[in-house]
Structure 1
Amino acid sequence: MAGHSKWANIKRRKGAQDKKRGKEFTRAIKEIYVSIKEGGSGDPDANAALRNAIVNAKGVNMPKDTIERAIKKAGGDDAENYEEVSFEGYGPHGIAFFVECTTNNTNRTVASIRSIFSKNNGSLGVNGSVEFMFERKSVFTIEKESIPKPLDELELELIDSGAEKFELEEGFLTIYADFTDFGRMSEALEKLGVEVVNSKLDRIPMNTIELSVTDSKEILDLEEKFEEDEDVQNVYHNLEISEALITAMEGEI
């Protein structure tokens, strides 16, 4: 996981400074729709998935009234029918990609993802072709300043709820747990009064491939092309986020 949380924070800073804000809102709204569809309720108290979706919407600074409108619309009879689909394949230099989408038109999404792969020296694979290369983890991000107690005390309490690893980078604490402990960790953080910036089921590469900075930027460009697609929610790959690459990307912010 080395470099994982630091790279996430760099991406967060970049996203705050460019056109990605609108895309972040779209992702958050889709997450609200799916959470209500799967959880069967528009009441956050009765729907843990919706509670997490609201946390993530707040994490991208979505206004409260926008969140409330999305919840109301998602629970209506005329709500968009979104479904979650995923795609696997390879980009340049043998880098594996796993792309998660939420869409109301699967045919459109398949065509778009295939096109992005083919136009960028990649290839779309079959289901299962790269999924085994990633380990699913529950990942929670919180601001260090918002922690209501000493960090070592918080970590000890969270270990009892399934926390496996902590990474402190640039004012953010990232907490990792097994994907089966997502609900347990969410409840533990809520009971401790810890404000979560982002929570999700992440895919962490079990082995990474290190490339030159130039070749790595080619991979990051492909990652960005996927993220610009309206149906894409998350993009994962097994590129090693080296210190040299992080330094290079920080210089571009």
Structure 2
Amino acid sequence: MAGHSKWKNIQHRKGRQDALRGKIFAKLSREITVAAREGGDPDINQRLRLAIAKARSQNMPNDNIERAIKKGTGEEGGGNYEAATYEGYGPGGAAVMVEALTDNRNRTAADVRHIFTKRDGNLGEAGCVAWMFERKGILTIDREHTDKGEDDVLMLALEAGAEDFEATEETFEITTSPEAFEEVKNTLEEEGFPFSTAEVTMVPKNTVDLTGEQIPKMLALMEALEDHDDVQSVYANFEMDDVELEKYGG
């Protein structure tokens, strides 16, 4: 799970989430719109339910959420977005997966290829790295926001159906199957636990260690991909030592 957590922690440390705030709502709206095409009732449509929960975790206003749903159900006009996945390799051979929602596949593919090439990576064929990742639910609780101990969180999570649990000095990270994600999340929320991360995402099955100049190059690639308007999510399997990160990555 370390490869997934590393990028999230780096984003937090560098203030990346705040820097991207202007684009986050637009990306979330697009995700909700596409999910709503499968049905506008979140009680029936799990994909829409998860997209709405993700938007609310980012404090997206209800009016924005409702408007995005109406675009997806056809009640309001909206872009004709379709999903696209791009796979490739970054500096040091790290595997990278990019999920996008686009109204112009040719444009987005060309842009993503350019970003990879310019930053010492290369775009690969479909399926070249997908096998290195698996979809999981991730719930992160900051220790400073709860008075519960490690054993309490562990027992509640496992009883609710969690697959794995990891405690660090700063967080508790709970891993679930996609199917059990909502049950575990709801159970912990009822017990008063706040989440800093609550999402179904892709996590690497193994990681690649990066060192030296590979570190700033990899961070630049990840940031450039996430900055693209059509890109919804970027996943990678890199790992790096914190000392090296401070030295080369800031």
Matched with 2:213 is 214
Matched with 2:8 is 8
- Find the aligned partners of 2:42 and 2:178 in 1 and give their Cα distance: 21
Matches within 5 A, 1:104-143: 104-143=103-142
Residue 236, structure 1, aligned to residue 219, structure 2: no
Q: Which moved more, 1:1-10 or 1:198-207?
A: 1-10
**Helix, strand or coil at the partner of 2:210:** coil
1:161-209 C-alpha deviation (Å, 9 max, x unpaired):
3312233457543321133433443454455554444433322222222
Q: Is the 8 A contact 1:134 1:203 kept in 2?
A: yes
- Find the aligned partners of 1:70 and 1:148 in 2 and give their Cα distance: 37
- Find the aligned partners of 1:35 and 1:243 in 2 and give their Cα distance: 38
**Helix, strand or coil at the partner of 2:234:** strand
Matched with 1:30 is 30
- Find the aligned partners of 2:145 and 2:43 in 1 and give their Cα distance: 23
Gaps of 5+ in 2: none
The amino acid that maps onto 1:179 is: P
Matches within 5 A, 1:21-170: 21-38=21-38, 40-41=39-40, 43-75=41-73, 76-144=75-143, 152-168=151-167
The amino acid that maps onto 2:8 is: A
Q: Which moved more, 1:2-11 or 1:53-62?
A: 2-11
State the TM-score, normalizing by the size of structure 2: 0.83
- Find the aligned partners of 2:70 and 2:138 in 1 and give their Cα distance: 28
The 3 A distance-change label for structure 1 pair 236 and 164 is same
Gaps of 5+ in 1: none
Q: Which moved more, 1:219-228 or 1:176-185?
A: 176-185
The 3 A distance-change label for structure 1 pair 51 and 208 is same
The amino acid that maps onto 1:227 is: E
State the TM-score, normalizing by the size of structure 1: 0.82
Q: Is the 8 A contact 2:115 2:224 kept in 1?
A: yes
Q: Is the 8 A contact 2:156 2:188 kept in 1?
A: no
Q: Is the 8 A contact 1:216 1:239 kept in 2?
A: no
Q: Which moved more, 1:171-180 or 1:227-236?
A: 171-180
- Find the aligned partners of 1:180 and 1:55 in 2 and give their Cα distance: 15
- Find the aligned partners of 2:235 and 2:224 in 1 and give their Cα distance: 13
Q: Is the 8 A contact 2:3 2:207 kept in 1?
A: no
Q: Is the 8 A contact 2:167 2:173 kept in 1?
A: yes
**Helix, strand or coil at the partner of 1:163:** coil
- Find the aligned partners of 1:68 and 1:145 in 2 and give their Cα distance: 33
The 3 A distance-change label for structure 1 pair 170 and 207 is same
Matched with 1:202 is 201
Superposed displacement of residue 228, structure 1: 0.9
**Number of aligned residues:** 248
- Find the aligned partners of 2:6 and 2:167 in 1 and give their Cα distance: 9
**Helix, strand or coil at the partner of 2:128:** coil
CA RMSD of aligned residues (A): 2.8
**Helix, strand or coil at the partner of 1:135:** strand
Q: Is the 8 A contact 2:102 2:230 kept in 1?
A: yes
